[in-house]
């Protein structure tokens, strides 16, 4: 397992290194990533722990800055810079924020307005997020007499339209409920679901989730018939497809331009599964980042 994680990390580092190029800006050399390519390129990177953004038009590169004056008020120089290099733009840069998504939207809109053959990232690809999660669940839709909560962990791919602050998304999730001495029940779940962001801000969003379909492998302790046709305690293994329409809620808290802290409260109720008498205590916390 450690070797597998190390291999993934090395692949990610290798990919990142190939996606960067060296640029000279005002006599200083920077390793920058390319976010947008067109009449104007949008370049960026995290330098000395800070996000730095640059616009490239032809051979000229300028940094998009937002310094403070003597009264500690932001001067928003980047807006003036953007309007200076996009004189043909139909929209003002007054509402542009110094974030990767906001800058990308503005520059792509400009590139599309001056180049009829330009294809924006919105049309070219989906926005993909990957997350790893861990938490506890009392598995409220299975028989759990003592209402015991077991550990659960998993991973998720979430897909949405490649726009700033998308409200709708589809997710593919894999979860593993781990059996314990107190509740000998385990489950492997592969889930397809839909998510709607009720509150959708740049720094925070709150959403409702609906598990539309899942394939489940379960193992639990119960009475079985052995090879001598006698009853004894053993493990019952089952698997099958379900369309539970299970509801949950969650929130993403922005940590950086590309990462979020994810908190979810799952299995609140289901349209097509019967609760076995225990109110849901299915909580999870995770780390989500954009791919």
Residue 84: the pLDDT is: 93
- Least confident range of 46-55, 146-155, 217-226, 249-258: 217-226
Residue 5: the pLDDT is: 41
Sheet holding 60-64, edge to edge: 20-25, 28-36, 40-47, 50-57, 60-64
Does 229 have pLDDT greater than 70?
Answer: no
Q: Residue 194 corresponds to which tokens in the numbers above? A: 């839909």
The mean pLDDT of 121-150, rounded to a whole number, is 87
Where exactly are the structural domains of the chain?
A: 18-124, 126-290
Q: List, in order, residues 6 or more apart from 206 with CB less than 8 Å away.
A: 197, 198, 199, 249, 250, 251
Residue 226: the pLDDT is: 52
Which pLDDT tens digit goes with each residue over 144-188? 989 999 999 999 999 998 776 788 999 999 999 999 989 999 999
Does 43 have pLDDT greater than 60?
Answer: yes
The mean pLDDT of 92-104, rounded to a whole number, is 89
Query: What are phi and psi for residue 82, nearest 5 degrees?
Result: -60, -45
Comparing 206 with 94, the larger pLDDT belongs to 206
Which pLDDT tens digit goes with each residue over 243-280? 999 999 999 999 987 899 999 999 999 998 889 889 99
Quick one: how far is CA 29 from the chain centroid? Answer: 32
pLDDT band at 101 (very low <50, low <70, confident <90, very high): confident
Domain 126-290: CATH architecture, name and number where available: Beta Barrel (2.40)
Mean pLDDT over the full length of the chain: 86
Q: How far apart (Å, rounded) are the C-alpha atoms in residues 266 and 247? A: 7
Does 15 have pLDDT greater than 50?
Answer: no
Does 106 have pLDDT greater than 70?
Answer: yes
Query: What are phi and psi for residue 130, nearest 5 degrees?
Result: -120, 140
Residue 249: the pLDDT is: 97
Residue 57: the pLDDT is: 93
Residue 235: the pLDDT is: 63
């Amino acid at each position: 397992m450690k070797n597998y994680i190390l291999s993934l990390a090395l692949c990610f580092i290798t990919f990142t290194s190939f996606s960067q190029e060296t640029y000279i800006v005002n006599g200083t050399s920077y390793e920058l990533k390319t976010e947008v390519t067109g009449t104007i390129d949008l370049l960026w990177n995290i330098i000395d722990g800070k996000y730095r953004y640059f616009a490239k038009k032809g051979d000229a590169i300028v940094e998009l800055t937002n310094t403070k004056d003597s009264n500690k008020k932001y001067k928003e120089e980047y807006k003036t810079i953007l309007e200076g290099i996009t004189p043909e733009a139909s929209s003002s840069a007054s509402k542009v924020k110094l974030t990767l998504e906001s800058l990308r939207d503005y520059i792509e809109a400009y590139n599309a307005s001056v180049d009829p053959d330009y294809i924006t990232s919105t049309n070219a690809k989906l926005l993909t997020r990957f997350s790893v999660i861990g938490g506890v669940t009392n598995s409220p839709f299975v028989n759990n007499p003592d209402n015991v909560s077991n550990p659960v962990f998993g991973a998720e791919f979430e897909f949405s339209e490649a726009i700033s602050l998308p409200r709708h998304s589809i997710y593919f999730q894999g979860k593993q409920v781990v059996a314990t001495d107190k509740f000998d029940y385990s489950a492997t779940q592969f889930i397809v679901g839909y998510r709607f962001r009720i509150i959708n801000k740049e720094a925070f969003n709150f959403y409702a989730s609906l598990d539309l379909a899942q394939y489940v492998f379960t193992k639990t302790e119960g009475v079985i018939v052995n090879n001598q046709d006698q009853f004894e305690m053993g493990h019952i293994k089952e698997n099958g497809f379900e369309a539970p329409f299970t509801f949950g809620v969650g929130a993403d808290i922005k940590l950086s331009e590309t990462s979020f802290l994810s908190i979810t409260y799952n299995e609140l109720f289901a349209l097509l599964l019967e609760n076995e008498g225990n109110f849901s205590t299915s909580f999870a916390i995770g780390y989500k980042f954009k791919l």
